[in-house]
A = this chain, B = another copy of it.
Amino acid sequence: MDEVFKALADASRRSLLDRLHARNGQTLNELCDGLAMSRQAVTKHLAILEAANLVATHKHGREKLHYLNPVPIHEIGERWIRKFEHGKLAALSTLKRQLEKRDE
């Protein structure tokens, strides 16, 4: 799971996921368009996303197509994010109460 969090920690990589979410199955060159960095930099980012299982690829002739895999994102939502949403109100009220002690 650490790999997924690390992969999501970079804005360029999140942008790549966004673009695949908007249109799945893009080639490397398509994903490079408009991303002020070299093709090789994008390749590295995609490799990290692939290692985290967030992107799957499929070679078609000389093109490499990239597909979004939403499962790890979903798992983070399920196993991590929701845990902190549970009891959110309780945590907030504690937080509020303690911060108000500043004024004592």
A21 neighbours in B (Cβ, 8 Å): 83-84, 87, 91
Name the contact of A81 in the complex, choosing from B6, B24, B73 (C-beta under 8 A). B73
The verdict on A44 contacting chain B, using a C-beta distance below 8 Å, is no
Q: A73–B102 contact, CB under 8 A?
A: no
The verdict on A65 contacting chain B, using a C-beta distance below 8 Å, is yes
Which of A60, A65, A73 lies at the interface centre, i.e. has the most chain B CB atoms within 10 A of its CB? A73
| Contact A81 to B71, CB < 8 A, known contacts A8-B9, A25-B98, A58-B102 | no
Residues of A within 8 A of B (CB): 2, 5-6, 8-9, 11, 14, 17, 21, 24-25, 56, 58, 60, 65, 67-71, 73-74, 76-77, 80-85, 87-88, 91-92, 94-95, 98-99, 101-102
With A5-B9, A5-B14, A9-B9 given, name 13 new contacts (CB 8 A). Answer: A5-B5, A5-B8, A14-B80, A24-B95, A56-B98, A56-B99, A58-B99, A58-B102, A67-B99, A70-B84, A70-B91, A73-B85, A74-B84
